[in-house]
Amino acid sequence: MHTANALAAISSLFLFISSTGARVIPTQPPPHVLRRGAATTPALLDDKCTFILFQKQVLTATSSNSQGRINYIQVNNIIDHTNDIVIDVAAQRPQAEHNSYVKVNERSVFAVEGLLDGASLIIHGSDGEDELKLESGGWNWSTGLATSEDEKTMAWCQAGEWAEAGNGSRERSVECAFHCERIEEEEAEREELR
């Protein structure tokens, strides 16, 4: 009798474990730079780097400085159409922070340093303001409406509509582009994989 109960308990335990067990998928660190297919680049973007910026505004206690909204952003990768690569920005953060947003305000900026042409991408924000200001390689632009001809052709952002997230907080995605220089590799500096 005890043997039958023990066998029933073991078989039901095995059935429970096998039916609810999660599959283990081996993890691999993401590459920092991924090659892209050249056929997918429109002519307009041939000399540009592009990225999608996710912007959240979190409603906090009302204060005169922030008008209650604090800006947070996330940039996961930058597509360098000029050099036909993808720069994995998220991989530069600790693994636990890959999907995290970063606060941007008058005291805190978001910066991606060491782009291929030696430039950096810097994103500024102000508490209580929707508009973000960006700069890279001597170009300055914003997530607002383009005001100069350079901003319309050399660097720009196109902001999506705000989606209310509840409790007065909201979020949107912003597509941005800026000029990137072509990097010419010296034959002696090129490292071939074999």
Rounded to 5°, angle at Cα 172 from 164 and 48: 175
Q: Between 27 and 154, name the one with better pLDDT.
A: 154
* Residue 117 three-state SS: coil
Q: What is the pLDDT of residues 127-143, one digit of tens each?
A: 999 999 999 988 899 99
Q: What is the pLDDT of residue 19?
A: 39
How many other CB atoms sit within 10 Å of the CB of residue 114? 11
Query: Could you give the 3-state DSSP secondary structure of residue 17?
Result: helix
Contact between 155 and 134 (Cβ < 8 Å): yes
Average pLDDT over all residues of the chain: 75
**Could you tell me which of 82, 38, 89, 62 has the C-alpha nearest to residue 177?**
82
pTM: 0.69
* Residue 131, token pair as written in the block: 């508009």
Asked if pLDDT for residue 11 goes beyond 50, the answer is no
Task: Give per-residue pLDDT as tens, 166-189.
Answer: 788 999 999 999 998 888 765 555
pLDDT tens, 64-77?
A: 455 678 999 999 99
Share of the chain above pLDDT 90, in %: 40
